[in-house]
């Protein structure tokens, strides 16, 4: 069983576009979990009406708003997912028709699959948000976008994995990519996301490092498993997380592969 876990907070217009795109390839997954980082009641009420329109099973799960806690939200999504294979997206990601299948074709036990994304400008985003979504429209927009950087990133991830497996590169250089997928048993092995990351930044990078420390290496599908990233103004914390409190924790001397404050709450 395949579960798509979509992180969400307040951006209903973006989420609808994300779900519309998933509806074009719903034959290759079994359910969608929308994991909500504390949206207001009005948004939640509207969201629940929106997800009723889709033919695929969609479950909305919510956590109390105590600031930006995407690590906890993603763990909440994992707990509520039924799938043995998990694909992680953000609500402002629009998948191309073959993206989910590419994840599944590349999947291997003991590995996680990194996917890529291309940023859309305001004009292209407006076109997607205000037009009936179709495979042809997604292909048309994708063809207009430069691919040089995504190919370069794909090759860098492959090279980095080889060097890490040969112990010629630091595990701290690992990241998850723009979006990623993994077998449930593999993310459970490291106890999911470290919920000590509260506020902007660091949770994805930390998870990537811990996966590699547990011997769960990256396979890159960045060149092929692509999404279109809808434009929106950047949040202040998103721009400056490396100057914030998470950075000190992220740079701690020892990062064990199993986090204590994760999917399961464990005593040190």
User: Is 259 inside any structural domain?
Assistant: no
User: Is 260 inside any structural domain?
Assistant: no
Tell me if 85 sits within 8 A of 1, measured CB to CB. Answer: yes
pLDDT value for 39: 96
Q: What angle do CA 249, 255, 256 make, to 5 degrees?
A: 140
User: Is 268 inside any structural domain?
Assistant: no
User: Is 256 inside any structural domain?
Assistant: no
User: Is 261 inside any structural domain?
Assistant: no
Q: How confident is the model at residue 24 (pLDDT cuts 50, 70, 90)?
A: very high
Taking the C-alpha atoms of residue 33 and residue 11, their distance in angstroms, rounded to an integer, is 16
Taking the C-alpha atoms of residue 68 and residue 228, their distance in angstroms, rounded to an integer, is 23
Taking the C-alpha atoms of residue 118 and residue 149, their distance in angstroms, rounded to an integer, is 9
Q: How confident is the model at residue 96 (pLDDT cuts 50, 70, 90)?
A: very high
Q: What is the pLDDT of residues 152-173, one digit of tens each?
A: 999 999 999 999 999 888 888 7
Q: What is the pTM of this model?
A: 0.94
If we measure between CA atoms, which residue out of 2, 79, 95, 66 comes closest to residue 35? 79
Q: What is the pLDDT of residues 101-134, one digit of tens each?
A: 999 999 999 999 999 999 999 999 999 999 999 9
Give the structural domain span for 175: 2-250
Q: How many domains does the chain have?
A: 1
User: Is 267 inside any structural domain?
Assistant: no
Q: How confident is the model at residue 238 (pLDDT cuts 50, 70, 90)?
A: low
pLDDT value for 57: 96
CATH number at residue 133: 3.90.550.10
Decide which of 247 and 203 is more confident: 203
pLDDT value for 234: 74
**Residue 65 above 90 pLDDT?**
yes
User: Is 91 inside any structural domain?
Assistant: yes
């Amino acid at each position: 069983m395949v579960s798509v876990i979509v992180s969400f907070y307040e951006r209903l217009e973006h989420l609808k576009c994300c779900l519309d795109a998933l509806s074009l390839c719903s034959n290759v997954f079994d359910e969608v979990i929308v994991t909500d980082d504390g949206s207001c009641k009005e948004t939640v009420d509207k969201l629940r009406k929106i997800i009723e329109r889709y033919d695929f099973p969609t479950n909305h799960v919510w956590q109390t708003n105590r600031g930006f806690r995407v690590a906890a939200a993603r763990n909440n999504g994992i707990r509520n997912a039924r799938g043995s294979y998990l694909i992680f997206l953000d609500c402002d990601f629009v998948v191309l028709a073959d993206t989910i299948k590419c994840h599944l074709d590349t999947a291997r036990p003991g590995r996680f699959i990194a996917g890529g994304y291309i940023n859309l400008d305001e004009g292209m985003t407006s076109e997607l948000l205000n037009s009936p979504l179709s495979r042809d429209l997604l292909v048309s927009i994708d063809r207009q976008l430069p691919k040089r950087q995504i190919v370069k990133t794909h090759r860098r991830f492959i090279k980095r994995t080889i060097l890490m497996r040969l112990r010629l590169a630091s595990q701290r250089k690992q990241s998850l990519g723009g979006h990623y997928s993994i077998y449930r048993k593999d993310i459970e092995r490291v106890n999911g996301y470290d919920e000590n990351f509260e506020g902007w930044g660091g949770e994805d990078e930390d998870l990537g490092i811990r996966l590699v420390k547990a011997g769960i290496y990256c396979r890159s599908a960045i060149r092929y498993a692509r999404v279109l990233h809808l434009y929106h103004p950047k949040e202040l914390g998103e721009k400056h997380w490396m100057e914030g409190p998470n950075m000190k924790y992220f740079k701690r001397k020892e990062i064990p592969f199993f986090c204590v404050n994760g999917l399961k709450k464990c005593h040190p």
